[in-house]
Structure formats: C-alpha cells, structure tokens
Amino acid sequence: MTVLSGTYYDGVSSRGHPATLTVERLQAVLIYGEQRLQLDPNRLNIEAALGRMPRKITWQGNDFFAADASAELDQLVASLGKGSIMDWVAGLEKRGGIIVAATLGTLLFILGFGVYGVPKLAEATAYILPESVSAKLANSTLEKLDLALDDSALSDERQAQLRAFFLARGEVDELYFRKAQRVGANAFTLSQTTVVFTDDLVQLTSDDEELLAVYFHELGHARLLHVERSILQSVAWAVVLTMITGDIGGVGELVLALPLTLGQAAYSRKHEREADEFAIVELKALGISPLKLATMLDRIEASHGVSHEDELSISLDLKSPESPESPERTERPESISLGPQVEGSANKDSQGADVSNAREGLVENPNDAKDEESNFSRSLLELLSSHPITSERKAYIRAAAQDN
C-alpha cells in the first residue's frame, strides 16, 4: 500500500483541497475533506517527474491530484509501470556530480562547436552559395563605401592598363579604383566577385608587379570566400547565442561586434595567412619573387607612418599620446566597431591612421543629418583596413621567397 500527500483539484474551480491518495493493488482511494473517491489504479496516469515539483495524477476526468514529490511516489510509478525516460532524467538531476559534469560537458561542446564547428560549417555553406549572392553582397557594400569614397583620379588609360594586367593573371568579376583620402594606401576584397584598389596604393610604386602581388593577396581572399565565410560565421554565432540565451534582440545587437571579437581575433588572421600563401604560390608560378609582396607591405606601413606594434601600444594605452616614445600619430582615438566583417585589407596595420582621419571627419559635422550614412561608411572603411601587418607575417613572406 502506498499513501501519498498532495492537493486535489476538482476541475471546476482553481481552489485546491489538501488530500491523500491511498493506492493498493486492486483499488485506489482519494480522500479530501469529508469526500472519498474510489479510483481504478490501472487508469491512473502519472505525469513525468520534473525536479522536486509536484506530479499531476489524472484518471480520465477533469479533476486531478497533485502529489508531492517523494520516494513513495517514485515507487508507485515503478510498481504501476508508468515510468518514462523523463523519470530517469529527473533522477540524474538529483545528483550533483552528474549536474556538474553535464554543465562542463555542455560548455565544452558549445566552445568546441564555436571554435571548430562554426568555421567548418560556414566554409561548407560558402562554397555552395550562388555567385549572384556574392555579387549582391559586394554591390551593397560598395554602395555604402562610395558615400565615403571619391571617384578615382587615375587616368582611364592607367586604370585600363592595370585591369588588363591583373585580370589576365587571375579574374574577378569587378575591379574598381577609388580615391580614399581617409583610408590611404589600401585594397579591399568585398566578396568573391569584387576587389577595390585605392589611388594611394597604386601611387606607392611604379612597379606593376608589386601591385600584382597585392592583387594576388586580395584574389586569395576572393577565391577562398573569406568574406562570405566570415559573415556566415557571424550568423552562426548569433544563432548559437540565441539558442543559449533566448534573447533574439540582444543577440542581434551583439552580432554586430562578433566579427571584431571572435572572428577578427582568430579567423581573420588565419584568412590573412591563407591569402598570403595564395599570393606566394601565384607569384612563384609567374616567376615573380614574393619579396615584392613584402616590399609593398613595407611601403604601405611607411605611408601611414605608424607600425602595427605601435598601434597596439597606443590602443592599449601602453604609450600615452604625450609620451616621447609614442609615434608621430598619437592622436588616435578609440576604434569604432561596426558593420559586417569584410576581408582583404592589403594594409592590415592602417587602422590607426584610418581611424584618426575618419574620426576627424566625424567631428567636423556632428549635427549634419546627412553625415549619418557617411559616418557608417567611414566606419566600414575602417573595418576593411583593420587587419594588422605583423612582423611575423612579413617574415613569413620573406622566408617563403627563399624556398624554391
């Protein structure tokens, strides 16, 4: 015989009545107040366990009995053969060691999926996207960028000469030239279809093979679908965070920063190495030394007047703007973090100069409503040129140039 304590609900009102349920092999009796109900034990349906919450017992009527969780109730469930997988789960929930292990296992799985699974999933998805999607992505990005860019000052003949020289050695659908005073010497990959060169970059050298080295780096981003993969990674992270937190709105805001935190901190550096490797292979295939790429990186760095290491020191407040050890451009304010991640800045350390110039532009007309879109475009330009040139990267290129 099993005696259970709990609350009886008559199915008519929401009021509960203290009650007891006595269950024997052939009969069950529910007693509340002065009332007594005879029930068939075989018709009792017992709700699955959920922690220490009361469990609902029904018998094919509108009324029911909410039994307090107890060992006797667990035994009754077993004796009546009314158990389910949820009862096993409820048993696990009562064991502290299993809870800790399951929590750690879940966190490790989420971390592993974010670090390894998301990039693999994004890569596989990127390679099955129609090229038209990449073209639309590039067009929409270029529309925003053109709010902060000017038409190229290079002659039509010079542009045509460089297009013919570049595209004969590796095609993209669109190759644009733009004047970008706020960005300086740089090149961007907007998608697998589109690459942009700035006038300042072209004017850094009279050696078209050095410019070709930069083009091959950008072509590496395009061929390896780095832009598409980065965006898909950000979307996947947003989905994972939404599933964990259930906060779609909050995650929507957070995803704007994800490419700059998770993606840009790790995967964009990997993408830069992959693009460099692509350029090195293509240059060697044409009998051109990869040193031309390293030389261009030196030229770009010199054109902005500050090294990546100095930029890091300034951004981390390791060198104050007034410090004599600080580089000449010490007025760099905090970085802007905005927009989808777009790969392929040939100048990976130009962030400091770009941000300073961009911020100066933002301060000039703070009350101009039309500047809002332009400000976004400048921020996007900054993002495009935010990948660092590191001494290790240039050393890698120079080492690769020595290998036959």
Amino acid at 253: E
pTM attached to this predicted model: 0.63
Domain ranges in the chain are: 2-93, 126-402
20 vs 57: CA distance, rounded Å: 12
- CA gap 14, 253 in Å, rounded: 42
Phi, psi of 103 (to 5 degrees): -65, -45
Mean pLDDT computed over 288-308: 85
The fold of 2-93 is PH-domain like (2.30.29)
Average pLDDT over residues 12-30: 88
Sheet with 16-23: list strands edge to edge: 35-39, 28-32, 16-23, 2-9, 64-67, 55-58, 45-46
Q: Is the model's pLDDT at 324 over the cut of 50?
A: no
What token pair was written down for 360? Answer: 């100066």
Amino acid at 134: S
Q: What is the pLDDT of residue 271?
A: 87
When pLDDT is averaged across residues 123-129 and rounded to a whole number, the result is 93
More confident call, 376 vs 40: 40
Q: What pLDDT, in 10s, does the model give residues 225-271?
A: 999 998 888 888 777 777 777 765 655 555 544 443 444 445 577 88
CB atoms under 10 Å from CB of 208, counted, come to 14
Cα–Cα distance, 173 to 192 (Å, whole number):
8
- Report the pLDDT value the prediction gives residue 391, as an integer from 0 to 100: 78
Q: Up-side HSE of residue 145: CA atoms within 13 Å toward CB?
A: 31
pLDDT band at 307 (very low <50, low <70, confident <90, very high): low
Of 164, 165, 195, 161, whose CA–CA distance to 178 is shortest?
195
Are 301 and 343 within 8 A, CB to CB?
Answer: no
**Could you tell me which residue, 67 or 404, shows the higher pLDDT?**
67
Cα separation of 197 and 184, whole Å?
A: 10
Residue range 332-386, pLDDT digits in tens: 322 222 233 345 555 444 333 343 343 344 344 445 555 666 666 666 565 555 4
The pLDDT of 150-154, averaged and rounded, is 95
In the block, tokens 């644009």 appear at 176
- pLDDT tier for residue 175 given thresholds of 50, 70 and 90: very high
Residue at token pair 């935010």: 386
Residue 172 three-state SS: coil
Task: Report, as an integer, the average pLDDT of 203-227.
Answer: 95
Q: How far is residue 216's CA from residue 276's CA, in Å, rounded to a whole number?
A: 8
Q: Where are the beta strands (DSSP E) in 55-173?
A: 55-58, 64-67, 150-151
The pLDDT, as a whole number, for residue 327 is 39
Query: Looking at residues 208-218, what average pLDDT do you find?
Result: 96
> What is the structure's pLDDT at 377?
65
pLDDT number for residue 50:
75
Report the C-alpha gap between 46 and 113 in whole angstroms: 38
Q: In this prediction, what percent of the chain has a pLDDT beyond 90?
A: 34
Residue 327 burial (CB count, 10 A): 19
Cα 231 to Cα 171, 228, 260, 297, 342, distances in angstroms = 23, 5, 11, 26, 8
Average pLDDT, stretch 59-81? 83
Helix (H) or strand (E) holding 257: none
Instruction: Give the mean pLDDT of 25-31.
Output: 86
Of 111 and 387, which is predicted with more confidence? 111
